[in-house]
Amino acid sequence: MARPPVHDYDVIIIGGGLTGLRAALQISRADLSCAILSKVHPLRSHSVAAQGGMNASLRNVPGSRGAIDSWERHAYDTIKGSDYLADQNSVVLMCKEAAATVIELEHMGTVWSRLENGKIAQRPFGGAGFPRTCYAADRTGHNILHTLYEQVTDKKIPVYEEFFVTSLVIDSGQCTGCTALEIMTGTVHGFCAKATLMATGGFGRIFSRSTNAIINTGDGQALAIQAGAFLKDMEFVQFHPTSLKGTNILISEAARGEGGILINRNGERFMTRYAPQSVDLAPRDVVARAIEQEIVAGRGFDGGCVHLDLRHLGEERIRERLPGIRLIAIDFAGVDPITEPIPVQPGQHYSMGGIGVGIEGRSGLPGLYAAGECACVSVHGANRLGGNSLLETVVFGRLVADSIIRDVRSEPVPASEPVLSAMKEMEEKINGILGRSGGEPLFPIIDSLKETMDTKFGIFREGSIMVKGLGEIYKLRERLGNITISDKNRAANQALIRYLELEYMFPVAEAVALGAIMRKESRGSHTRMDYPARDDDHFLNHTIASRQNEEIAITYAPVTLGMFTPEERVY
């Protein structure tokens, strides 16, 4: 009988996007063995869809009246935009590292857009006091992802692509690896490691209207809380103001950064009412709420949208600065933004919350680390500014890798027996799932969960409606054991993968719902109709979700303040 496939590395990285790739490079440079596990080919990771840019105070473009940017100003904008829920030590670290990170990526091969003087181009983004967003046309994530993947390939770092992680292995209270299903063969593999880094991205696909790729189902967050780590600030879910009507493909904030304007069916530039100082470049939570209010008031267009008008920018500028946006509008909406406005509506876009980690990426579970969107080191707080997500992935991908390097050098190689035992359990579980018959189909339950999240936990929230939504989540979860998958093959069984993803979606949805119900205030992306004011006296705290007796319990932890004290957000 063949030995089960068990792989030994110093470090396992789960996720092949920007965070995972940058971490792998750093660990490889330290002469430690590491491998990347990715549900898709790394170049299909959701990082490839990031369009707008990466914030850094390079000072290449002056602000109004010739003002000069700085990392302190970047930190202030980030903390103010977070509605003061961001941990200020994390924000300061990220903003100090930003300029060097952009330059490092350039030296690796990232082709940034340029000013006429040859310097890296920077454009204004929402909530920023300066044009500090460095960009590569409107395909910034695509360019950086390819750059880092080329570097990983050059270093010959092993990449297990199309491997779906099915469990974390815990031995004596420490994470010592994971199990994963090789999608194309149906084989369960074991991975034994001194450290495991979660870099799995967000959980947008628990909502039906989302800019996220279909792979973003909260796998990393669910694995972490099931293994004994905690989740933080999960109720803070960002809705991007401008996703394409119908498909919800992202229409980058870069379009407004270049001068695009939002108009309602009356031809009004309505953002002047909601954010008279920054207008269309207010933070995303402000603009998303404004668009939703216009639609509800009957000032939207048919189909529940407003228009993003770029026509005044001119053909040359649109072709040069926004070529990807133009192609998306043509291909998926049948409109050319050179001659017609783009129909847009808010869509779930980003997860400010995630696996709770300290500034060095350590979770509460020894041996388990997290970085990027799946983590909450809390640089975004209650609302993320555009241009800070790409920055976070690369900065903390490197810095958390440095923490891992320091931690594991003297650690012994973990025993393989717990991994082998976990593999056996997973084999039995998968056989049990595939062996069911006579139950109900999978996809209606997935669709019902997404509909519940959209309608009960959207841009505007209300207590009694959310309590009803939580009850719906629980009832749907009870039906998991009755689902029957018609495809009984192990190899390339996408229905099996969707089922396992659904298992992950439930604890994530529950954490979002419980956090939102218990946070009786409005802050950043979390807007309560029944509690419209921000309440610093009671809720200037992080929400902590942990598993206790098979259910999720909510507690709170203080926000780390520092350079800036909470003030009113005026835009």
Q: Which helix (H) or strand (E) holds 181?
A: strand 174-182
Domain C-terminal end among 383, 417, 451? 417
- Same domain, yes or no, for 107 and 189? yes
Answer yes or no: is 525 within a domain: no
* pTM for this prediction: 0.97
CB 278 within 8 A of CB 127: yes
Q: Which helix (H) or strand (E) holds 496?
A: helix 494-518
Residue count of the chain, please give it: 571
Those residues with Cβ within 8 angstroms of residue 371's Cβ, 6 or more apart along the chain or in another chain: 19, 23, 197, 198, 199, 357, 361, 377, 393, 396, 397, 399, 400
Pairing mode of beta strands 34-38, 159-161: parallel
- Same domain, yes or no, for 229 and 280? no
Residue 22 Ramachandran class (φ > 0 left, ψ -120 to 50 alpha, else beta): alpha
- Same domain, yes or no, for 386 and 246? no
The pLDDT, as a whole number, for residue 550 is 83
- Same domain, yes or no, for 108 and 206? yes
Q: What is the pLDDT of residues 81-104, one digit of tens each?
A: 999 999 999 999 999 999 999 999
Residue-wise burial string across 498-517, b where 16 or more C-beta atoms lie within 10 A, e elsewhere: bbbbbbbbbbbbbbbbbbbb
- Same domain, yes or no, for 315 and 247? yes
- Same domain, yes or no, for 11 and 49? yes
Answer yes or no: is 411 within a domain: yes
The pLDDT, as a whole number, for residue 225 is 98
Count of helix runs (H) and strand runs (E) in the chain: 16, 21
Tell me the pLDDT of the chain averaged across its residues. 97
Answer yes or no: is 28 within a domain: yes
Picking from 52, 36, 236, 227, the residue whose alpha carbon sits closest to that of residue 148 is 36
- Matching residue, tokens 């749907």: 476
Residues with catalytic function:
284
Question: What six digits make up the tokens of 557?
Answer: 């932890």
Those residues with Cβ within 8 angstroms of residue 359's Cβ, 6 or more apart along the chain or in another chain: 87, 89, 90, 93, 377
- Same domain, yes or no, for 140 and 43? yes
Answer yes or no: is 369 within a domain: yes
- Same domain, yes or no, for 257 and 225? no
Q: Which CATH number does the domain housing residue 257 bear? A: 3.90.700.10
Cross-strand bridge partners of residue 159: 36
**Structural domain containing residue 278:** 238-348
Structurally, how many domains does the chain consist of?
2
Domain C-terminal end among 389, 417, 445? 417
Q: What is the DSSP letter of 372?
A: G
The pLDDT, as a whole number, for residue 2 is 66
Q: Which CATH number does the domain housing residue 227 bear? A: 3.50.50.60
* Residue 545 to residue 564: CA distance in whole angstroms: 27
* Residue 218 to residue 209: CA distance in whole angstroms: 16
SS3 label, residue 340: coil
The pLDDT, as a whole number, for residue 64 is 81
* Residue 383 to residue 525: CA distance in whole angstroms: 6
Domain C-terminal end among 348, 380, 395? 348
Answer yes or no: is 526 within a domain: no
Picking from 464, 477, 452, 458, the residue whose alpha carbon sits closest to that of residue 551 is 477
The pLDDT, as a whole number, for residue 65 is 80
Q: What is the DSSP letter of 494?
A: H
Q: What is the pLDDT of residues 446-505, one digit of tens each?
A: 999 999 999 999 999 999 999 999 999 999 999 999 999 999 999 999 999 999 999 999
Could you write out the DSSP letters of every residue in 261-274? EEE-TTS--THHHH
Tell me the mean pLDDT per 10 residues along the chain, length 571: 84 98 98 98 97 96 89 98 98 98 98 97 94 96 98 98 98 97 98 98 98 98 98 98 97 96 98 96 96 97 97 97 97 98 98 98 97 98 97 98 96 93 97 96 98 98 98 98 96 98 98 98 98 98 94 97 92 79
Pairing mode of beta strands 163-171, 174-182: antiparallel
* Residue 359 to residue 344: CA distance in whole angstroms: 36
- Same domain, yes or no, for 230 and 320? no
* Residue 405 to residue 304: CA distance in whole angstroms: 50
Answer yes or no: is 113 within a domain: yes
Answer yes or no: is 434 within a domain: no
- Same domain, yes or no, for 294 and 152? no
Answer yes or no: is 486 within a domain: no
Cross-strand bridge partners of residue 440: 483
Cα dihedral value 409, 415, 419, 421, nearest 10? -160
- Same domain, yes or no, for 344 and 356? no
- Same domain, yes or no, for 289 and 373? no
